[in-house]
């Protein structure tokens, strides 16, 4: 079975499973989306949402975080891993947004990836969910499932993103990457399925008998 045939199976099954896709992170605007994605590094979305639900009603603009300062930001997010590093990034990116972009989040990869603490994946999520540009952010779930489905060799996250963009039509990217994340959390988990038991794995690789060892992101 070639990758184009697999892509049709995957899209059909995911649309059936997740006709409406819930957004994993809660946010109020593009800026708070950026902050939440930054906070989610090495941290669960649930933990991020539990922390930000007490922050965003009062602090949801770059100027708010500039006025708070690093130490107060640290206290607000101290339940999140590597909170000091993240607080520093949030403070300085907020300062840049206020001084250079009039408090607005820029809508280009180049500008986003120049902000403190913002890498390609974070920029991709903001471009996709914040601005509606076609993007395919690859997290650990997507990286794992793409390997289990035989769509990439899993050499690295960048290669996985490139491979998936070549396989799936651009019009599906924004919805599809979220569907794959949810499917990876609920049906094709890291310590379950192993490429041989879930519906998509069995459909894409029907002759597979042994578990698949995937490379980590």
Active centre residues (catalytic): 121, 139
Site of tokens 């697999």: 6
Query: What whole-number distance in Å separates Cα of residue 210 and Cα of residue 163?
Result: 24
Where b means 16+ CB within 10 Å and e means fewer, 1-40 reads eebeebbeebbebbeeebeebeebbebeebbbbbbbbbbb
- Tell me the CA distances in angstroms from 205 to 10, 136, 192, one per residue in order: 12, 23, 16
Q: Is 206 exposed, middle or buried (0-12, 13-18, 19+ CB in 10 A)?
A: exposed
Cβ partners under 8 Å of residue 170, min gap 6: 134
Which alpha helices (DSSP H) does 102-139 contain, by range? 109-112, 120-125
């Amino acid at each position: 079975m070639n990758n184009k045939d697999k892509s049709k199976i995957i899209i059909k099954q995911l649309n059936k499973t997740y006709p409406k896709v819930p957004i994993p992170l809660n946010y109020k605007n593009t800026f708070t989306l950026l902050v939440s994605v930054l906070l989610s590094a090495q941290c669960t979305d649930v933990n991020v949402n539990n922390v930000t639900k007490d922050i965003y009603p009062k602090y949801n603009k770059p100027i708010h975080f500039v006025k708070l300062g690093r130490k107060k930001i640290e206290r607000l997010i101290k339940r999140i891993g590597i909170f000091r590093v993240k607080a520093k990034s949030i403070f300085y990116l907020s300062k840049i947004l206020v001084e250079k972009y009039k408090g607005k989040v820029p809508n280009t990869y180049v500008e986003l990836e120049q902000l403190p603490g913002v890498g390609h994946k974070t920029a991709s999520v903001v471009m996709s969910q914040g601005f509606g540009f076609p993007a395919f952010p690859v997290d650990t779930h997507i990286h794992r499932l793409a390997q289990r489905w035989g769509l990439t060799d899993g050499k690295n996250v960048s290669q996985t993103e490139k491979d998936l963009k070549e396989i799936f039509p651009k019009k599906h990217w924004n919805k599809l990457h979220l569907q794959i994340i949810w499917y990876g959390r609920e049906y094709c988990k890291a310590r379950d399925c192993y490429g041989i038991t879930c519906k998509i794995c069995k459909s894409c690789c029907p002759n597979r008998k042994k578990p698949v060892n995937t490379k980590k992101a």
